[in-house]
A = this chain, B = another copy of it.
Amino acid sequence: MRLPRQNLRTPGPTPIPNDIVEAMSEPMINHRGPEFLDLITESTRLLKQVFMTQNDVFVLTSSGTGSLEAALVNTLSPGDKVLGVSAGAFGDRFCDIADAYYADLKRIEVEWGEPIDPEVIRRELREDPGIKAVMITHNETSTGVTHDLESIADIAKNEFGKLILVDAVSSLGCIPLPVDGWNCDMVGTASQKGFMIPPGLAFISVSDDAWEANRTSTMPRFYFDVAEAKKYLESGQTPWTPNLSAIYGLRLALDKMMDEGVENIFARHHDIAQYTRDAVEDLGLELFCTDPARASDTVTAIKMPENIDGSRLMNIMRTEEDVVLAGGQGKLVGHIFRIGHLGWVSREDIEEVVEALKRTLPRVGFSAS
């Protein structure tokens, strides 16, 4: 099997730098031995710097969705009232997990492509003092919208004293999310986004308030039990056999992130995202996000122009231009396409995409009006 070298612009998986690929080729070790102790201890210490937190942080062997399940099942009990936001496929997924674990979910419906108004959260929390936790997708990958987590957390946590559970899968390590600064209780993210390694690991931070909730939480949990993770981490282990290769990659990725500096990483993501937005608008395309101030710095969602064959556009881009774009998800299939610009990404990567779009759009019948 030889896979093509592509300009992979899905919002995860993202390309892996060569030195990280090489690090991942290191031989297997005993995950209950001294080499692993060093590896997980140092990786966890550096992860906390990317999370900007003094909270506990754990490495889970799962996709990012596992960290969202972990956020819920470790803090809540069946029947607990939680507030969720349906503003895209991933907001829906977070809500669906709460449903699956028999939480009493109030799902706020927001038009896909729009950010949620934090005022709505305030109103809901005022109306129902019984709500225990607010779940929020920081960056909604499916619509290219970054919700105003800072304001939402401030309302939920500081005004109302609720738990705030954050899906930070496509934001953390790319755009600012100071976990302690914003007082977030459970924050889950994944390896294949900002961390420049393949899918297969998730990371989650757990605040003191989350630990307090954990003590009385009765949702069933085993694989994603963070109390078990904490117990093992004290002796430099994970409860279950960890994904060693990905952790080898993570260890180096964290060094590289420290070398670049998190503030510089955020600035790079913002600059590239702004370049992307400007360039696609120059092409005569329209952004899907309704609020320019909340357009995502990790993925740009673009309305599929009417009267063109969207799947032909994606196909030509992939097979002739070696540029892999992401389509729409859920009810957005066929209505948008997306350009990921997160993790190991440079402005040149996006310039290539723009040039390829310039060549391809006219071939599928698009002309800028």
- Chain A interface residues (CB < 8 Å from chain B): 1-6, 8, 10, 12-16, 21-33, 35, 39, 61-66, 69, 78, 96-97, 100-102, 190, 192, 198-200, 219-225, 239-246, 248, 251-252, 318, 324, 326-327
Q: Chain A interface secondary structure, helix, strand, loop or mixed?
A: loop
Q: Of all chain B residues, which has the CB nearest A34? A: B318
The distance from the CB of A34 to the nearest CB of chain B, in whole angstroms, is 8
How many copies of the shown chain assemble into the complex? 2
Complex CA distance for A213 and B272, rounded to whole angstroms? 50
Q: Specify which of B2, B28, B30, B64 is in contact with A240 (CB 8 Å cutoff).
A: B64
The distance from the CB of A109 to the nearest CB of chain B, in whole angstroms, is 21
Q: Establish whether residues A6 and B32, one from each chain, have CB atoms under 8 Å apart when the complex forms.
A: no
Given A33-B318, A198-B245, A223-B224, 18 further pairs, Cβ under 8 A: A1-B26, A1-B252, A2-B26, A10-B31, A10-B32, A13-B28, A22-B25, A28-B192, A29-B324, A31-B199, A32-B326, A61-B61, A61-B200, A65-B239, A96-B222, A100-B221, A199-B241, A200-B246
Complex CA distance for A221 and B246, rounded to whole angstroms? 26
Q: Establish whether residues B65 and A63, one from each chain, have CB atoms under 8 Å apart when the complex forms.
A: no
Q: Establish whether residues A23 and B1, one from each chain, have CB atoms under 8 Å apart when the complex forms.
A: yes
Complex CA distance for A100 and B244, rounded to whole angstroms? 27
